[in-house]
Amino acid sequence: MKARAVGIAPIAVAFLAAGLASCAPPPTGASDGRGRNVPAARPIGAAQSCIPLAQISESRVRDDWTIDFRLSGNRWVRNTLPYRCNGLGFERAFSYETSLSQLCSTDIIKVVQTNPPMTRGACGLGQFQPVELVK
């Protein structure tokens, strides 16, 4: 029986190309990932670097740039990501890992693709701005 060598280079090139494509600017006429239906928000205090995990009751992904977190007491904070997180607005799901009891602007989220279930892409969070959502 002959052993067959499988080259890893084509796989590495595919991953590299996919990674670079997620960083590239959108083609002319393409969406920049900003949603048209993101509710307006009025800042109501200073931005925070972290929010306690125990106070997060809900998160709402608005688009590739924006996540609103509902905290206990029906308070909202908006996290506007410093860079576009491709696919976040489409999938509307993300995961994170932290060893702290807080979610911080230094943490990384991963876009969760639902079908087939897998994570794709990693993105940094921004500051958590307390807001009042305008209805």
Question: What pTM does this model have?
Answer: 0.76
pLDDT of 103: 98
Rounded to an integer, what distance in angstroms lies between the CA atom of residue 93 and that of residue 89? 8
pLDDT of 54: 98
Task: Sketch the domain layout of the chain as residue ranges.
Answer: 42-133
Q: Which two tokens stand for residue 68?
A: 């609103």
CB within 8 A of 88, min separation 6: which ones? 33, 61, 63, 64, 67, 94, 109, 111, 121, 123
Give me the tens of pLDDT residue by residue for the chain, a chain 135 residues long: 433 333 333 333 333 333 433 444 444 445 788 988 899 999 999 999 999 999 999 999 999 999 999 999 999 999 999 999 999 999 999 999 999 999 999 999 999 998 888 998 899 999 999 999 997
pLDDT of 128: 98
pLDDT of 115: 87
pLDDT of 7: 37
pLDDT of 30: 55
- How many helices (H) and strands (E) would you count in the chain? 2, 10
Task: Yes or no: say if 66 and 81 are a contact pair by the CB < 8 Å rule.
Answer: yes
